[in-house]
Amino acid sequence: MSQSALSQHLAWLRRDELVATRKEAQTVYYTLKSDEVKALIQTLHGLYCAEATA
């Protein structure tokens, strides 16, 4: 994914208040704000990525 595409996706997530940001110097850290979204991502990872990491 290109830098510009990633920046646009992160901007949409910020706009929709799905992520929180924290800036240290020039680095921006992103955190999911919703426990429901975190649970969904964990479930999807378990279903579709478990074999790749096993």
d(CA 34, CA 45): 17
Q: How far is CA 7 from CA 15, 23, 30, in A?
A: 12, 15, 12
Q: Which residues contact 44 (CB under 8 A, 6 or more apart)?
A: none
d(CA 31, CA 41): 13
Report the predicted TM-score, pTM, of the whole model to 2 decimal places.
0.65
Domains of the chain: 3-53 (1.10.10.10)
Q: Which residues contact 9 (CB under 8 A, 6 or more apart)?
A: 1
**pLDDT for 53:** 54
**pLDDT for 50:** 73
**pLDDT for 21:** 95
Q: For each successive 10 residues of the chain (54 residues), what is the average pLDDT? A: 94 94 96 92 90 59
